[in-house]
C-alpha cells in the first residue's frame, strides 16, 4: 500500500497495546504513520487524542486515521465532533469496507477490548485498501457535510 501522506494513529491508555500492534503491522506493510499519542498506558482522556489526530487530518498532515480505545466507541464519538471527520467504529471487515466505499470514512476506530491484533490488522488492511465509490454516495456524504455547516 502506498499513500501520499502518513496515516494518522492515536490511542488512549485502554487502546495503547493494540495501537502498538497496529503500528507493527503498518511497519510490516511499509506504510508510514504519524503517532499522535498516547505514548504509554497510563490513564488519560481519549477525547484529547481523538482531537489531536483529527486536527492533523484537518491540517492536511494525513488523509486517513486510526483511533484505538477500549471499545472504539468513545474515540468515534469524539472524532465525529470534529469538522470534516467521518469516523467509523468497526469490529468486522464488512463494515470497514462499506464505510470507506459508501460513507468515505476517513478515520477507523477500533477497540482493544473488542478485537485482537489479528482482526485489527485485517480491519486496517480493508479500511486502508478500500476506495470511496463516489457517485450516488457522494450526495449523502455532502449531506453529512451540510449538517456540520448548520452547527
| Tens digits of residue pLDDT in 128-150 | 999 999 999 999 999 999 999 98
pTM for the whole structure: 0.97
Place of cell 499513500: 3
Q: Is 13 a catalytic residue?
A: no
Residues 6+ apart with CB under 8 A from 136: none
Under the banding of pLDDT at 50, 70 and 90, the label for residue 2 is: confident
Question: Is 36 within the bounds of a domain?
Answer: yes
Question: Is 145 within the bounds of a domain?
Answer: yes
Q: Total structural domains in the chain?
A: 1
Question: Is residue 24 scored above 90 in pLDDT?
Answer: yes
Structural domain containing residue 70: 7-150
Q: What is the pLDDT of residues 54-67, one digit of tens each?
A: 999 999 999 999 99
Q: Is 102 a catalytic residue?
A: yes
Task: Determine which one of 25, 44, 102, 137 is catalytic.
Answer: 102
Higher pLDDT, 2 or 22: 22
- CATH number for the domain including 73? 3.40.1400.10
Question: Is 2 within the bounds of a domain?
Answer: no
Task: Determine which one of 25, 44, 54, 69 is catalytic.
Answer: 69
Mean pLDDT to the nearest integer, 67-72: 98
Amino acid at each position: 500500500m502506498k499513500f501520499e501522506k502518513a496515516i494518522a494513529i492515536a490511542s488512549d491508555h485502554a487502546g495503547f497495546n493494540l495501537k502498538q500492534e497496529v503500528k507493527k503491522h503498518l511497519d510490516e506493510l511499509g506504510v508510514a504513520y504519524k503517532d499522535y499519542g498516547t505514548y504509554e498506558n497510563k490513564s488519560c482522556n481519549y477525547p484529547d487524542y481523538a482531537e489531536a489526530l483529527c486536527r492533523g487530518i484537518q491540517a492536511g498532515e494525513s488523509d486517513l486515521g486510526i483511533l484505538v480505545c477500549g471499545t472504539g466507541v468513545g474515540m468515534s464519538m469524539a472524532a465525529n465532533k470534529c469538522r470534516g471527520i467521518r469516523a467509523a467504529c468497526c469490529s468486522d471487515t464488512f463494515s470497514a469496507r462499506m464505510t470507506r466505499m459508501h460513507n468515505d470514512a476517513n478515520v477507523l476506530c477500533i477497540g482493544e477490548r473488542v478485537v485482537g491484533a489479528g482482526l485489527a490488522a485485517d480491519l486496517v488492511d480493508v479500511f486502508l485498501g478500500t476506495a470511496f465509490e463516489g457517485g450516488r454516495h457522494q450526495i449523502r456524504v455532502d449531506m453529512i457535510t451540510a449538517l456540520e455547516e448548520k452547527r
